[in-house]
Amino acid sequence: MNTLINQEALTYSLEPIEILRSGRRTRPGNYPVLQETVLGWTLSGRTPTVTQNEPQRTFLLRDDNLGHNLNCFWEVEAVEQSSMTAEQQVCEEHFVTHTTQQYDGRYVVRLPTKMEPNQLGASRLSAERRLHAIERRLERDPQLKVQYHSFMKEYEELGHMEPVKSQERRTCYFLRHHPVFKATSTTTKTRVVFDGGAKTSYGLSLNDILQVGPTVQQDLYSIVLRFRTHQVCFTADIAKMYRQVVVRPEDRDLQRILWRYSSEEPIQEYLTTVTYGTSSAPFLATRCLKKLADDNMCQYTKAAQVLSNDFYVDDLLSGASTVEDAINLQQELTSLLQSAGLTLRKWASNHSTFMGTIPKELQEMQQTFSLENDDGVTTLGLLWNPQNDQLQVKSNFTQGQQIDSTETTKRKVLANIASIFDPLGLLSPAVIAYKIFLQKLWQDKLQWDTFLPAYLQQEWNQLHQTIPNLSQIKINRKVICANATNIQIHGFCDSNERAYGACL
């Protein structure tokens, strides 16, 4: 809903946003208030009467997130030069100033806060309630209980969480936790993830006071494009990357968790290392990789370049021109990362000789490599099969999946189309048909949750049945032949009344 409000009133109401969060002061004057709720930002209150001599000013308040995201379907892809915002620059300077290495090489960081932690309210009670809910769930599911306890036991044994020893009461934030499942994992099927977005009694969360930080790694598009140029390629990931980064003692109280192995035991408070689920964790972990590369550029020149250019979060996609060069690069990378307490595992390659140099326990057991988050939260879905050295786009739909023709809406159509993850545009000739159909829904001015008319439903049923076929398309990873002496780039473009496209 678009809402017109007085601009001056909005200006005065910005201060009460924090007032309503803290609950310590009252709203100044007869002005409307913006307040963040679980349903989004809400506007309430009256605006002052505008006199005849005072110019009328209005402000348009609307939620354009969905519309903005949808524009990505129609816009031409562009490579933009990255630049840091003022807040991101502050976060970068904070990292440079406060990051050190401890005796075993692991990096030690401070949490980049943009507000004073003492503005956080109480969070222990809600975390304790969540723990009780988890315990009741585990009692109903013995298998999940074993897996959950096993995960937490490993977490503690590896030193990624440790019991609180000091009884001194400081400003604390308690992270709630819950299980997630990843059936495709060859290591841990059930993981415990932490929630840094849970609100305190003041309406703030840990993520609200943390800076997100800039993106320090190259974009996935560039990494995968470069991955396609190697004769001998390999993939791997860093084991438990986030948790290998240590948090300075003065910030650990902001990452406390509650845990016990039996409901008959007292609840114990634990401190953790950098934790997945906090907004600054991706920046802190990936920035440590960049620092490791920068600090060792002279000693490990090639490995440092790969560390800077060929990692997507904790996933490595790289290679070399010959088997010998690939083996040397693998050994150099392993040594460089081990110097910071990081271990590369799940190695896969298109060359058997390369794999023969990798210990069995560090090899990937699956037949395909999937670009996905190791904490089991997001699956990107780009697959690579080392045996046939081909790429596939993973589909979330199965062959012959039935559709309830009475329940399809524009929102569901958009969700289905957006689930096709194709970072290189390999499937663009097919995906364009879905985009054109979505445009029809726009032209017919259908509301988000209105069921499709019969004629559009029939067309969508036919299109929807073809989505699972996309995962059957296989494309050669390698685009450059061995010992190439003349490499050329060819471009082509064409259009019709409804769409246009180009490729290189």
pLDDT digit string (tens) for 179-232?
887 655 655 677 888 999 999 999 999 999 999 999 999 988 899 999 999 999
Distance (Å, rounded) from C-alpha 123 to C-alpha 292? Answer: 35
**Total tally of structural domains belonging to the chain:** 3
Please check whether residue 70 lies inside any domain of the structure: no
Would you state the pLDDT for residue 26?
Answer: 45
Residues 157 and 269 in one domain: yes
Residue ending a domain, among 283, 315, 347, is 315
Q: Is 21 helix (H, G, I), strand (E, B) or coil?
A: helix
Residues 200 and 120 in one domain: yes
Residues 58 and 151 in one domain: no
Residues 44 and 158 in one domain: no
Mean pLDDT of 260-266: 92
CA dihedral 291→226→242→381, nearest 10 degrees, is 170
SS (H, E, C) 31-60: CCEEEEECCEEEEECCCCCCCCCCCCCEEE
* Percent over 70 (pLDDT), the chain: 78
Can you read off the two tokens belonging to residue 408? 């399809």
Please check whether residue 231 lies inside any domain of the structure: no
Mean pLDDT of 342-347: 95
Residues 185 and 218 in one domain: yes
Which residues, 6 or more positions from 357, have their beta carbon under 8 angstroms from its beta carbon?
A: 327, 330
Residue ending a domain, among 32, 63, 94, is 63
Residues 197 and 114 in one domain: yes
* Tally of CA atoms within 13 A in the half-sphere of 321 that contains its CB: 3
Task: Please list the alpha-helical segments (H only) found in 296-350.
Answer: 301-309, 323-338
Distance (Å, rounded) from C-alpha 322 to C-alpha 479? Answer: 16
Would you state the pLDDT for residue 22?
Answer: 41
Q: Which residues of 92-113 are buried (b: 16+ CB within 10 A; e: fewer)?
A: bebbeeebebeeeebbbbbbbb
Query: DSSP secondary-structure letter at 302?
Result: H
Answer for the pair 460, 451: CB distance below 8 angstroms, yes or no.
no
Please check whether residue 14 lies inside any domain of the structure: yes
Please check whether residue 335 lies inside any domain of the structure: no
| Rounded (5°) CA angle 218-184-393 | 55
Residues 410 and 488 in one domain: yes
Mean pLDDT of 253-267: 93
Would you state the pLDDT for residue 443?
Answer: 87
Residues 490 and 435 in one domain: yes
Q: How far is CA 488 from CA 155, 444, 478, 479, 485, in A?
A: 51, 45, 15, 11, 10
Please check whether residue 78 lies inside any domain of the structure: no
Amino acid at residue number 145: K
Would you state the pLDDT for residue 297?
Answer: 95
Residue ending a domain, among 268, 293, 315, is 315
Please check whether residue 346 lies inside any domain of the structure: no
Please check whether residue 44 lies inside any domain of the structure: yes
Residues 302 and 425 in one domain: no
Q: Is 191 helix (H, G, I), strand (E, B) or coil?
A: strand
The number of residues in the chain equals: 504
CA nearest to 224, candidates 395, 381, 424: 424
| Rounded (5°) CA angle 217-223-225 | 155
Distance (Å, rounded) from C-alpha 446 to C-alpha 377? Answer: 32
Residues 124 and 35 in one domain: no
Poorest-confidence range of 64-68, 436-440, 452-456? Answer: 64-68
Answer for the pair 318, 312: CB distance below 8 angstroms, yes or no.
no
The answer on pLDDT for 256 being more than 90 is yes
Residues 105 and 249 in one domain: yes
Average pLDDT of every residue of the chain: 83
Please check whether residue 324 lies inside any domain of the structure: no
Residues 180 and 280 in one domain: yes
Q: pLDDT tens, 111-157?
A: 999 999 999 999 999 999 999 999 999 999 999 999 999 999 999 99
Instruction: List the domain range (segments joined by +) for residue 291.
Output: 86-223+236-315
State the pLDDT confidence band at 415, using cuts at 50, 70 and 90. Answer: confident
* Percent over 90 (pLDDT), the chain: 54
